[in-house]
Amino acid sequence: MVETGKRPTWIKGLAIVVGLVIVYIAVLVAYAAGNTDDDSDSREPAANGVLIYLDIDAVNGADFSLGGHVSVYPGPDLLDARGDLKEDLMIDVSPMVSAANIEFSRGSRPGTLPVTLYSDGDIRHWPFDSYTSESVAVQAYGPNDAALPTEVAITDSLIGWDVEAGDTDPTEGQAFTITSARTAGSLTFDLALCVMLVILPICTLFVSIQTVRRRKAFQPPMVTWFAVMLFAVLPLRNIFPGTPPFGSWVDYSVVLWVLAGLVASLTLYVIAWWKQAP
């Protein structure tokens, strides 16, 4: 008997399994690498100044806004023996969605309060959307609107987003820019969902074309399978992270063509039924 040189089926199956395991491990490593930030911080407020942490914890592309929290730490000269404020303290954060300032009355203890900043971007470009808040300013004021030495630290509690503050030094009381963009791991996950959608019509077109060519026999239960694939598209589309609005870039570049491919597959299979069914 002459060897044909073809690999046994079990070797091909093993290669596929090994490949999937490698991809799975690579995804876990990439995810773990994106969550190793050191959150330790040794900053201390100036004796007569204020240390302010601006923590970004939400990106809302549909509302053109960044959500966050402001944590205020006055210096020892601004506090009494109990740790309460000696005088009124006001924190001005701009450009905020609301016009209200953050105020702490004399005798109170500063804490953490929510803020919402304007941010420019376009969620329709999902998953390649990014957002920018320009001319962000954070300044502390004492009685009679006297400006206090203010140090600002930008942090983020977001998963799947890179948040950076640049252009100027916020510790000098100057305006700065906050940019938010999806991490490589988040972008990979989003694109993987798109690839899964694309695989659906590829599989159904292969089956329907082979059936029309009479390479495979017509199977009536397969019509149900085609219908299930067709109605599975919208639920998959609705789990996209960030819930991009309908009419986004991904709808024109992926979802529309996936639906077209599935409808074409179902049409071809109906043609095969017409030709082959008794």
Judgement on whether residues 101 and 210 belong to the same structural domain of the protein: no
User: pLDDT value at position 202?
Assistant: 92
How far apart are alpha carbons 16 and 25 in whole angstroms? Answer: 14
Let me know if residue 37 belongs to a domain: no
User: pLDDT value at position 173?
Assistant: 57
For residue 94, give the 3-state DSSP assignment.
strand
Let me know if residue 34 belongs to a domain: no
User: pLDDT value at position 157?
Assistant: 84
Residue 121's φ and ψ, nearest 5 degrees, are 180, 180
Q: Identify the domain boundary among 182, 207, 233.
A: 182
Judgement on whether residues 151 and 134 belong to the same structural domain of the protein: yes
Give the end-to-end CA distance of the chain in Å, rounded to a whole number.
Answer: 43
pTM of the predicted model as reported, rounded to 2 decimal places: 0.77
Judgement on whether residues 192 and 263 belong to the same structural domain of the protein: yes
Domain extent at residue 261: 186-276
Q: How many domains does the chain have?
A: 2
Let me know if residue 55 belongs to a domain: yes
User: pLDDT value at position 1?
Assistant: 43
Burial of 180 (0-12, 13-18, 19+ CB in 10 A): buried
How far apart are alpha carbons 130 and 164 in whole angstroms? Answer: 12
10-residue averages of pLDDT along the chain (278 residues): 58 82 78 60 81 90 88 89 88 80 87 90 89 89 87 86 72 76 86 89 91 84 85 87 84 92 90 78
Q: Identify the domain boundary among 182, 214, 248.
A: 182
Let me know if residue 271 belongs to a domain: yes
